[in-house]
Amino acid sequence: MPFNRLIKLTVLVITITAVSILPFSPLQDRAIAKSPDYKELRLFRQVMRIVQKNYVKDVDDKELIQGAINGMLQSLDAHSSFLTEDLFKELQVETKGEFGGLGIEITLDNGVLTIVSPIEDTPAYKAGLQPGDKIIKIDGESTKNITLLKAVKKMRGPKGTKITLTIMRDGFKKYKDFSVNRDIIHVKSVKSQLIEPNYPYIRVVNFQESTESDLKAAVKNFGGDKDIKGMIVDLRNNPGGLLDQAVKVANLFIDDGLIVYTDGRVKDQRMEFRATRGGTHYKFKLAVLINEGSASASEIVAGAVQDYDRAVILGTKSFGKASVQTIIPLEDGSGLRLTTAYYYTPLGRHIQKTGIQPDVDLKQELEKQADDEEAADSKGNNKKKKKNRFPQPTVDVEKDLVVKRALQWLKSDVNVKEFKLENQKPVADTALNIKTDE
């Protein structure tokens, strides 16, 4: 999902058709004049005339109107916006695993431009940018009141060119500049390794067109259900991607029922995505890892396997991105990007801004581990070798606390339902009060 490509719904095309224009009668004029919409539009026109006449500089009518439209949409939520012709063209970039830029997923958090997650092996990842970082400036220019798409446009550029992001992060006493070299982003969606005999580890970096097939190939390489006793799927710092791939990945572990659904005011936005009984369905034990950088498609997969007791979820609470944006083209080549629905887990959990709560929340243990390592580094006068908080290309079970705990559970005789009953996790209490799809 850069540009929140998570949900690819049918594009609504607005066309203006030629019709006969009938003259208004005085009664019609008076009826329109009394309508609330007319009064507000009259106020808008009055303000526009005042600006045109009295503002310190000459202003273009088109810019004024587009600015007003954009302000209206931005007042709705962080993800709705007006798309100029240039910005609308930006949305034609497809999720085929290759695009220009830095390799980060961004959002607006209470109006502040915020990094959801850097994508693994990209310039942003290598520069040390982290989930939750606040982008205060881009090349020295303030990001105050910036739209998401304008921010994306500023960050894109020719391969090899440099951009400076001014970052504020929890723990920073003042802003810090990060220089990042733009590059063509080649994303390898799935990475895997065998951490112990019969226990593979699969990291899903993002959800793109090949994710399901890449994951199936990795599982096949490890022997499938015949040889695998338990598997870890790591979705940490996975910012999302394509909805259909999230559904297909979840379907590998869920053989029947609802996987995710969307709900909005318009009937066309109410959609259900169900598991298919045919095809490949794995039966081995499953552990799924999430953190604050797991968003959108990652949350669909984690939420689905959690609701069906198909996996134990470990890590920290996910980001909480569960809104659906529909792109609506307009006749002049511009468009609207409008939030039209929210998506929900099979048990009806609405996770926008709340995220997925893991069955095993390791936040405190991870913070303690980080503090202990920092203290050890300080004593050893080795401050430069700070621990990288991102999942590494090759996982070390002894150093990665979340992977270690996942492996311990996979090797135990305790199944998912028994584990949840023993640990009495909040998600179980939440599910009791929600209707299922049946």
Q: What is the pLDDT of residues 173-210, one digit of tens each?
A: 999 999 999 998 877 899 999 999 999 999 999 999 99
**100, 182 contact by CB (below 8 A):** yes
What is the model's pLDDT at position 149? 77
Tell me the domains of the chain and their CATH numbers.
98-186 (2.30.42.10), 190-324+341-431 (3.90.226.10)
Q: In whole angstroms, what is the distance from residue 118 CA to residue 132 CA?
A: 10
Kindly state the tokens that stand for 417. Answer: 């339902």
Which are the catalytic amino acids? 296, 307, 321
Kindly state the tokens that stand for 72. Answer: 């209206």
Cβ-based neighbour number of residue 20 at 10 Å: 4
Q: What angle do CA 21, 24, 25 make, to 5 degrees?
A: 150
What is the model's pLDDT at position 393? 53
Nearest to 212 by CA among 249, 257, 160: 249
Nearest to 423 by CA among 435, 432, 434, 415: 415
Q: In whole angstroms, what is the distance from residue 352 CA to residue 294 CA?
A: 13
* Coil vs helix vs strand at 167: strand
Assign residue 141 a region: left if phi > 0, alpha if psi is -120 to 50, beta otherwise? beta
Q: Which residue in this structure is represented by tokens 């559904």?
A: 247
**313, 426 contact by CB (below 8 A):** no
Give the pLDDT confidence of 391-401 residue by residue, as tens digits. 555 688 989 99
Q: In whole angstroms, what is the distance from residue 122 CA to residue 4 CA?
A: 18
What is the model's pLDDT at position 375? 78
What is the model's pLDDT at position 150? 85
What is the model's pLDDT at position 430? 38
- First-to-last CA distance in the chain? 30
For the chain, what is the radius of gyration of the CA atoms?
25
- Cα 104 to chain centroid, rounded: 10
Q: In whole angstroms, what is the distance from residue 143 CA to residue 202 CA?
A: 36
pLDDT along the chain (438 residues), means of 10: 37 28 42 63 91 92 90 88 81 55 87 89 91 95 88 87 95 94 87 96 94 97 97 95 93 97 92 94 98 94 98 96 88 90 95 94 91 75 49 76 96 93 58 34
Nearest to 107 by CA among 152, 172, 43, 170: 152
What is the model's pLDDT at position 238? 93
